[in-house]
Each structure stands twice: as C-alpha cells, then as structure tokens.
Chain A
Amino acid sequence: MSAVNKTSTSKHRTLGYIGLSVLGACIGLLFLLPLWWTFVNSLRPGGDTFRFLNPLQWETFFTLTPSLDNYAALLSSDLGLATWNSIFVSIVTVIIGLAICSMAAFALAAIPFRGSGVVFIVVVVSFLIPFDAIAIPLADLFRDWNLQNTYTGLILPGLGNGMAIFLLRTFFLAIPKDLVEAGRLDGLGWWGIFRRIYLPLSVPSLIGAGLTLFLFQWQSYVWPLLNGTDAQHILGPIALSNLQGQFNVDYGVMFAGSIVLTVIPLAIIIGFQRYFIQSVTTTGLK
C-alpha cells in the first residue's frame, strides 16, 4: 500500500516538475518575443518588417539572409550621433557622480559632525521628490541659467543621486571603525582614510552605485526631451522616438537603433550581474 502511494507521489512530482518547467519556459519566451522580433527585423531591410506578419510563420521570427546594413546605416545617421551622446553623457555622469556620492556617503557614515541628521533629511527628501515630476520646473530654471542644449545641462541632474548615496552609506557603515583608528595612527587625514581605506574596501558597492547612476542617465527620457533637443545634443531615446510617427520611417534602421540602445545597458548589467542584483535587492529590503 505504502509502495503504491510512494510511486504515485513521485509520479505526481515528475509531472509537476515537467509542468512547471514548460510553464516557466513558455512565459520566459513570451517575454523575450518582442525583443527577439526587434532583433530579427534589425537584420533585414526595413521594407520587409511587415512582410511575414500575416499569417504568422517561421520567417516572422527568423531570417536566413541576415545583414548588418541597418547597423551600417545607423552609424552615419542622426541616431548614431545621438547614441554616442548617450554614451558620453552616461560615462561622465558615472565618473563624476560616483565621486560626489561616495564622498557624501563617507561624510555621513564615517565623520561624526553636528548637523548630520539635517543633512540626512535633505538626502531623504531629495529622494522622495520624484525627479521626473520636477523636471519641468527644473527645465525652466535651466533656461534661465543658459544650460539648455549643453552637455552640462544634460549631465548635471544625474550627478547627485540620493539612492546612490544611501546605498554607499549603508555599505560604509559596515566598515569597522578600528580601521579608521589604525589609519589615524599611520598619519592619514580624512581624505586619506577615504581614499586608502574606504574606497578600496567598497568596490562592489561602488559598482552597484555606478550602475544606479548609469541606468538613471541611460533610461532618462523626460529630462533630455526638455533640455537637449538640438541636433548636437540629442540623446538616443529622444532621437529614436522622433523617428516613430514620421511618414517615411526606415523600420530596419529604427529597430537597429533600438537594439543598440538596449544591448549597451544589457551588456553592462550582465557583466556586473552580481552587483546589479545585490544593489537592486538591498535597496529594497534592508
């Protein structure tokens, strides 16, 4: 009796295992589909985008004659320049932003001073005010300051990131104070303690904070739309959305641009996967 029971539960288990696997696979593939379709269409001429859609066929999702023509065309187009702008703006933001945010986090975590409570409140308030909501009043201020259509104007709002400061501060708090004492005995000042002790110990959290800064800039849409729309300073997402809705759109080039704008952050996320997951989840849970 018990033997029968056992085989039936193990059969039940196997069925459940197969069922869950199939369900998981179907859902995963469904999520991949829009991006895969974009990728396939970036490899064929724009005129063919709608050719294999009705009815659905294998050629909707595969092509036997892939070509990189659209990517070559992208290089010489405005969208190509816009992508370079996005890369430039994001890199500068990450470098300067990390310096600024890690210094602030260090002061909040390691240096005891009066008023640190107030400063912390400023950080928290600035992070409670959603940036996109205040982008319109800020764009008005930037017009007064003659920062419209400049790289400075595009980069500035991404530098001070409350989230990155928060993340780094949490990590810095875990660094034992004994190390600070030891540094002092070796004659280090605060700057030396920051540079020689805190920064080298916190590479993982610096990568996490750097990713936060990078994604903020790379994905931003409202701000570059309000602040940088001339041909020299336009960013990738804005240039791409300008294509959409135009009468004579080359869908092939549009899809190639979409893939490039997606693959760059994707490569960075995959490269730093461990730190990305860590930074994402610790901000939410701890």
Chain B
Amino acid sequence: MAVAFAFLAPALISLVVLRIAPAAVALWESFFRESFLRGGTVFVGLENYADLFGNADFNNALLVTLVFSAIVNPLQIGVSFLLAVLYTRRAAGSKIWRSLVVLPIAVPPAVSAVVWSVIYRPDGLGNSFLALLGLPEQPFLTSPQQSLASIMVLLSWIGVGYWMLFLIAGINDVPTELYEAASIDGASAWRKLWSVTFPLVRRPLAFVLVADTVSNFLIFAPVQILTKGGPSGSTNLLMYDIYTRAYTLGDLNKAQAEVIILVLLTLVVVAVQFRLLRSSDSA
C-alpha cells in the first residue's frame, strides 16, 4: 500500500494539483464576485451565471460555438471517413498520398494559423487559386459571413488526417472474408461500403466523433491569431470569449463561471453522443 502510493504520488499530486484543483477553484470562485465596497470577494451564488446568460456577447459566443460544432464535426468526420476509404483502396502510391494528408498534424496549431493568415490575405494564395478557377476575389477573414467557414477549412486541414488514421486502422481490421462474401453475393462497391465497412468501423468512428467534438469545443489559437473573435463576433468561440473576459475585461469570476459552463457543455454533449451511439449499437 505504502509502496503503491510512493509510485503513484508524483503523478497523483500533479493530476490533483494541476488538473482537478483548478477545475474546483473555478467552480468555487464562480460563486463569488469582487466587491469594491468591502474589498475582497463576496458570495453571490449563481448570479455570475445568470449575468452571463443575460449577456448578449456571451449568448452570441455560445451560439457561434454551437453552430460551429454542428457544422465542423460532421464535416471533418465525413471527410476523414471518405479519405480513409479512398486510401485503403488498391491504388498507385496511396501510402505516399495518405502521408501527405497526415502531414499537417505535425504542424503546431499556432504555426498553421500564422501560415493560413497569409493564405487568407486579400493578396494571398487563397485568392490566387480562386482567380485560377475564374472565381471572384473573396474577403475570407474580414467578412462576417466567411470568417467562421475560413477557420473551419484551416482546422480541417490540420485535423482530418489525424482522424483518418483511426478510421484507416478500423477499416484495416475488417476481415477480408467479409468483402469476399459480399462480392460472391454480388454486392456493389457502394453496397459493400455501406453494409460491410461502415457498421464495422462503428467503434473507431464513435471514438473519433467524441474526441473531435471535445477538441473543437476548445479551439483557441486560430481565433486569437486570425480574427480575435471578429468581425462582429462571428468567430467568437467560447474559449476565446473566456480569455477576453478574464484578461481584457478583467472579470475573473465570471470567466470562471464560463469555464464551468464550457466544461459542462463538453461533458453533456459527450454523454449524449455516448447514449446515442450505445442505443444504436443495440438496435
């Protein structure tokens, strides 16, 4: 027992102090507020939360975050799945092309944001490509209609290859006899994809869905580097809103309440996804 704790102590202390304690502190402090009259802080219960939900900027950030996740997660997973299918087919050089898709996962998020900030400039690479296709110049990051989509494209460039790795591993685990059996039954390629591959990669697909959702709730670097939440709040995702609330507005207690809301939101969405996946498993 003592031996076990000697082995565990360093990791356990670091996890408790550096992960669990700050979450507990955030929860605790979210019930307090700076008091200028008395100095120090006073207990205000759920008032910080109530204020947040009555605050237009917060509500906008919440809405932007939900819209963003509702689009970006299915998009990334769909693309990763199709790419995983493509790159597990017999074709020339598919291992090489596949590794090019995986390559961006080595790029730190801040680096990709900086590189894409140049691509998205009015005179940048993005518009050169549009010109090549005969399309008009686009404002990308400076347009409230395009900024969020521009960030989604950048994030998909980074993320799709990573999620594809899990799905490729899943597809490679499908026994080839199943495909042979399907071929003998005269199944078409689409039919095989839908009835053999898809159900059998459900487990990795479920993992990718949950992990992708969590990581997309926490997007920060591209927003901070590319748009600072703008133009007109169109890219103000929750993580960035928390950051500005804590450091620009200096309202740490309300920022802590927002941290709690973000963590809860993440946990709820993950729990719902698990429920849905499990019930569809038994069906």
Same complex origin of A and B: yes
A31 touches B161 (CB 8 A): yes
Cβ-based interface call for B149 (8 A): no
B7 touches A111 (CB 8 A): yes
A123 touches B123 (CB 8 A): no
In the bound complex, residues from chain B placing their C-beta under 8 Å from that of A190 are 3, 7
Complex Cα distance, B89 from A17, in Å, reads 9
Cβ-based interface call for B109 (8 A): yes
Nearest B residue (CB) for A125: B20
In the bound complex, residues from chain B placing their C-beta under 8 Å from that of A251 are 118
**Which one of B18, B101, B132, B161 contacts A138 once the chains associate, using CB atoms below 8 Å?**
B18
Complex Cα distance, B224 from A269, in Å, reads 27
Interchain nearest-CB distance for A117 vs B (Å): 12
In the bound complex, residues from chain B placing their C-beta under 8 Å from that of A34 are 104, 112, 115-116, 119, 125, 157
Complex Cα distance, B113 from A34, in Å, reads 11
Complex Cα distance, B135 from A56, in Å, reads 14
Complex Cα distance, B103 from A263, in Å, reads 10
Complex Cα distance, B7 from A100, in Å, reads 8
**Which one of A38, A100, A243 contacts B14 once the chains associate, using CB atoms below 8 Å?**
A100
Per-residue A-contact encoding for B203-234, CB less than 8 Å = 1, 0 else: 11001100100100110110011000000000
Interchain nearest-CB distance for B62 vs A (Å): 15
B218 touches A130 (CB 8 A): yes
Per-residue B-contact encoding for A1-27, CB less than 8 Å = 1, 0 else: 000000000000000011011011101
A277 touches B165 (CB 8 A): yes
Interchain nearest-CB distance for B162 vs A (Å): 8
B26 touches A134 (CB 8 A): yes
B98 touches A281 (CB 8 A): no
B103 touches A56 (CB 8 A): no
Asked whether A132 and B220 contact (CB < 8 A) given A55-B132, A285-B204, the answer is yes
Cβ-based interface call for B269 (8 A): no
B23 touches A137 (CB 8 A): yes
Interchain nearest-CB distance for B99 vs A (Å): 8
A122 touches B15 (CB 8 A): yes
B263 touches A104 (CB 8 A): no
Per-residue B-contact encoding for A243-266, CB less than 8 Å = 1, 0 else: 111000001001100100110011
Complex Cα distance, B4 from A194, in Å, reads 12
**Which one of A114, A129, A245, A266 contacts B263 once the chains associate, using CB atoms below 8 Å?**
A129
Main secondary structure of the interface of B (DSSP, over half): helix
B123 touches A50 (CB 8 A): yes
Cβ-based interface call for A204 (8 A): no
Which interface class (under 10, 10 to 19, 20 to 34, 35 or more) fits B? 35 or more
Which interface class (under 10, 10 to 19, 20 to 34, 35 or more) fits A? 35 or more
Per-residue B-contact encoding for A124-138, CB less than 8 Å = 1, 0 else: 011111111110111
Interchain nearest-CB distance for A261 vs B (Å): 5
Asked whether A241 and B22 contact (CB < 8 A) given A17-B90, A281-B166, the answer is no
Complex Cα distance, B115 from A123, in Å, reads 36
B20 touches A129 (CB 8 A): yes
A20 touches B91 (CB 8 A): yes
A32 touches B100 (CB 8 A): yes
Complex Cα distance, B12 from A115, in Å, reads 13
Interchain nearest-CB distance for A87 vs B (Å): 13
Interchain nearest-CB distance for A228 vs B (Å): 14
Asked whether A240 and B22 contact (CB < 8 A) given A136-B242, A284-B211, the answer is no
A28 touches B100 (CB 8 A): yes
Q: In this complex, which of B11, B12, B94, B111 has the most chain A Cβ atoms within 10 angstroms of its Cβ?
A: B11
Asked whether A269 and B14 contact (CB < 8 A) given A31-B100, A31-B157, the answer is no
**Which one of A165, A258, A266, A280 contacts B114 once the chains associate, using CB atoms below 8 Å?**
A258
B93 touches A24 (CB 8 A): yes
Complex Cα distance, B218 from A56, in Å, reads 36
A238 touches B110 (CB 8 A): yes
Q: In this complex, which of B12, B92, B106, B255 has the most chain A Cβ atoms within 10 angstroms of its Cβ?
A: B106
Asked whether A28 and B97 contact (CB < 8 A) given A56-B129, A130-B218, the answer is yes
A31 touches B101 (CB 8 A): yes
A265 touches B92 (CB 8 A): no
A106 touches B242 (CB 8 A): no
Complex Cα distance, B224 from A284, in Å, reads 30
Cβ-based interface call for B38 (8 A): no
A23 touches B4 (CB 8 A): no
Nearest B residue (CB) for A108: B8
Q: Contacts A24-B94, A123-B11, A160-B13 given; 5 further ones with Cβ under 8 A?
A: A160-B19, A194-B7, A265-B108, A284-B204, A285-B203
A-B contact pairs, 8 of them (CB 8 A): A28-B101, A34-B104, A35-B104, A55-B131, A56-B132, A107-B3, A160-B13, A240-B110
Query: What 3 A-B pairs come out closest when comparing CB atoms?
Result: A28-B97, A160-B14, A237-B110
